[in-house]
Amino acid sequence: MKELNLTVQKREGTGKGPNRRLRQGGDVPAIVYGPETEPVAIKVNYRTLYRLMHGVPLNTLINLDIEGEGGPARKVIIRELQKDPVSGELVHIDFHNVAMDKPITVTVPVNLVGIPLGVKTFGGIVEHIQRDVTISCLPAHIPEELTLDISELNVGESMHVSDLKVENVTIVDEGTRTLVTVVAPTVVKSAAEEAAATAEGEAAEGEAAEGEAAEGEAAAEGEAAEGKDKKEKGEGKDKKEKKEGGEEKGKKKKE
């Protein structure tokens, strides 16, 4: 793996106020730490860092020259880039000071190469289950990526961490972990069809519920109309009977 060169300055003051002013001026607060070394607070120019690291893995070895420190540049790797969860702004960087004669643990990406047999012959689909692995090695042996040839994979077959072969590197992850598999297209299709059928069923249930609600409203309106009609008929009958009773009394009085 190639090495990069970066020059930085020590920073004065810590805390939200000084760090905010640093970022407003185009710098990013950072710290350098590691075994058998005292932590050093530094500042890094954002544009310089962006040009240096653009398209480069974070585990790339960096020769870090701290102005005013004297002596050879420190060998470091970026351990963490802290970003604001809302704005995405880079707010802090952690550099890890490494010893070239001691193994270090890092994460590297897995690059799949080749077109699987199951894809070319049966129209299978590649599913990338795990995209990186954790390794341990000397800093000088850190690879940019690990390559895995998947051209022999058939439908229903998988490749695991144990299938990775690389020199001077110890893979920390369990060998049984699946990295990639090829699935049949019918599996994906049936899943899509099942989702569509579920959506249609829910829509039909919704329509049925609306229909039942409409029927309930119509029945309630009918019952109300019927009750009103009965009431009106009863009132008419009472009036008629009262009228006839009055006429009968009048007739008897005349007699």
Q: What is the pLDDT of residue 129?
A: 96
CA torsion 74-52-55-78 (nearest 10°) is 30
Query: Is the separation of the CB atoms in 85 and 92 below 8 Å?
Result: no
Q: What is the pLDDT of residue 223?
A: 60
33 three-state secondary structure:
strand
pTM: 0.65
Residue among 153, 104, 105 nearest 129 (CA): 153
Which pLDDT tens digits describe the chain residue by residue (255 residues)? 678 999 999 998 777 888 888 899 999 999 999 987 889 999 999 999 999 998 888 889 999 999 988 888 999 999 999 999 999 899 999 999 999 999 999 999 999 999 999 999 999 999 999 999 999 999 999 999 999 999 999 999 999 999 999 999 999 999 999 999 999 987 544 555 666 666 666 665 666 556 565 565 655 565 655 655 555 555 555 555 555 555 554 444 444
* Architecture per CATH, 3-99: Beta Barrel (2.40)
Query: Is the separation of the CB atoms in 35 and 46 below 8 Å?
Result: no
Q: What is the pLDDT of residue 250?
A: 47
The alpha carbon of residue 167 and the mean position of all alpha carbons in its chain are separated, in whole angstroms, by 34
> Alpha-carbon distance 91 to 140, whole Å?
29
Residue among 43, 53, 54 nearest 20 (CA): 43
SS3 sequence of 34-103: ECCEEEEEEEEEHHHHHHHHCCCCCCCEEEEEECCCCCCCEEEEEEEEEECCCCCCEEEEEEEECCCCCC
Q: Are strands 132-137 and 170-171 parallel, antiparallel or unpaired?
A: antiparallel
Q: What is the pLDDT of residue 241?
A: 52
> Alpha-carbon distance 123 to 184, whole Å?
7
Please provide the CATH number assigned to the domain covering 105-183. 2.170.120.20
CB atoms within 10 A of CB 82: 14
Distances (CA, A) of 165 to 97, 131, 149, 187, 254: 28, 16, 11, 31, 128
> Alpha-carbon distance 178 to 190, whole Å?
23
